Amino acid sequence: MFGQNRDELRRFFRQAWEKRTQGLPLQPLEQLVAQVIELHPEYHRHLADERQLQRDFTPDDGETNPWLHMGMHITLGEQVASDRPPGIRTQYQQLVKQFADQHAAEHAMMDCLGVVLWEAQRAGSMPDEAAYLECLRKLSK
């Protein structure tokens, strides 16, 4: 979507944000990225500092990887827009009503997405869409 490696992805985020802050026109994907960045002022420092673009984030750091976090928001947006996996749009709408906040609902959904992606990576397989949707259903109970 953004490129084939971490550096390209992070630079794309940075460029989209720079264009947004300068009031320049944005392509649709840049607009989506800029909207996600805007929701996360705690990550703005990572966009402004070249060292942060190169930084590795590990669980031992005790800090959320801002690039992964923002990327998951974008992934959720794309999943909901395309209703892929089938049924996710309905789950999303229910969770937004339950949480009364789109951003909070997405943060809850990220826990499910993260688990399913981690399990797929560990098993060397595609993510289990049924398990993902089941996890989302459990959130709305």
**pLDDT tens-digit profile of 101-140?**
999 999 999 999 999 999 999 999 999 999 999 999 999 8
* Amino acid (1-letter code) at residue 29: L
3-state secondary structure 84-107: CCCCHHHHHHHHHHHHCCHHHHHH
Number of domains in the chain: 2
Domain for residue 78, yes or no? no
pLDDT at 3: 53
Give 87 or 7, the one with higher predicted confidence: 87
Question: Domain range holding 25?
Answer: 1-64
- Global model pTM greater than 0.85: yes
Residues 23, 60: one domain? yes
pLDDT at 49: 85
pLDDT at 52: 82
Domain for residue 35, yes or no? yes
pLDDT digits (tens, 9 = 90+) for 5-51: 888 899 999 999 999 999 999 999 899 999 999 999 999 999 988 88
Residues 58, 106: one domain? no
> What is the token pair recorded at 107?
């943060």
Terminal alpha carbon distance of the chain: 34
Domain for residue 15, yes or no? yes
Tell me which of 16, 33, 64 is where a domain ends. Answer: 64
Residues 47, 95: one domain? no
Domain for residue 135, yes or no? yes
